[in-house]
């Protein structure tokens, strides 16, 4: 019986997970671009157009907001996961093998969290679900068990 209750909660917990991870990611981008929340690297902002920091910050802000909304989720999280893999291996990994040695814990965690969302989808409370429902209705699709 408790397993059924937990199973019914999965889409909502997944949606909440997506929202929280997206907010944290967007906050990193906003900090780097606008100097809010304590600022970006070294407490300031990144140089506009500077490679790769400015592009990473834009991906973090825009991608994070898309993830929060659940809009274009799988594409947004795939791009975000790839950007965090790049950050880990190019920026952090040269300073040490393990995340604790190279201060790459957040890059590694974001990378894997976003990769998980590529395969699970956005869960509940996502804009994607509205479009999917509309497309299913237009094709005449019905939920299982409805005749």
Domain spans of the chain, in order of start: 22-123
Q: Which residue has better confidence, 45 or 39?
A: 45
- Nearest CA to 109 out of 84, 132, 91 is that of 84
Rounded to an integer, the average pLDDT of 39-65 is 88
Q: What is the DSSP string of 67-78?
A: HHHTSSHHHHHH
Rounded to an integer, the average pLDDT of 16-20 is 98
User: Is 80 exceeded by the pLDDT of residue 22?
Assistant: yes
Mean per-residue pLDDT over the chain, rounded: 88
Using one digit for the tens of pLDDT, what is the confidence trace for 59-105?
Answer: 999 999 999 999 999 999 999 999 999 999 999 999 999 999 999 99
Looking at residue 29, its pLDDT comes to 95
Indicate the pTM of the whole model.
Answer: 0.85
Least confident interval from 32-41, 68-77, 117-126: 32-41
Which segments of 51-126 does DSSP mark as H helices, in order?
A: 53-69, 73-86, 99-102, 105-120
3 state SS of 121: coil
């Amino acid at each position: 019986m408790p397993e059924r209750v937990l199973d019914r909660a999965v889409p909502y917990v997944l949606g909440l997970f997506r929202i929280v991870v997206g907010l944290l990611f967007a906050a990193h981008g906003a900090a780097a671009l606008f100097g809010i929340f304590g600022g970006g690297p070294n407490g300031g902002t990144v140089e506009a157009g500077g490679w790769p920091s400015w592009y990473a910050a834009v991906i973090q802000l825009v991608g994070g907001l898309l993830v929060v909304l659940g809009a274009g989720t799988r594409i947004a999280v795939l791009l975000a996961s790839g950007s965090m893999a790049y950050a880990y291996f190019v920026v952090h990994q040269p300073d040490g093998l393990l995340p604790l040695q190279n201060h790459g814990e957040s890059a590694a965690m974001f990378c894997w969290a976003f990769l998980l969302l590529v395969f699970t989808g956005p869960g509940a409370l996502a804009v994607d679900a509205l479009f999917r429902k509309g497309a299913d209705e237009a094709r005449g699709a019905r939920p299982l068990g409805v005749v």
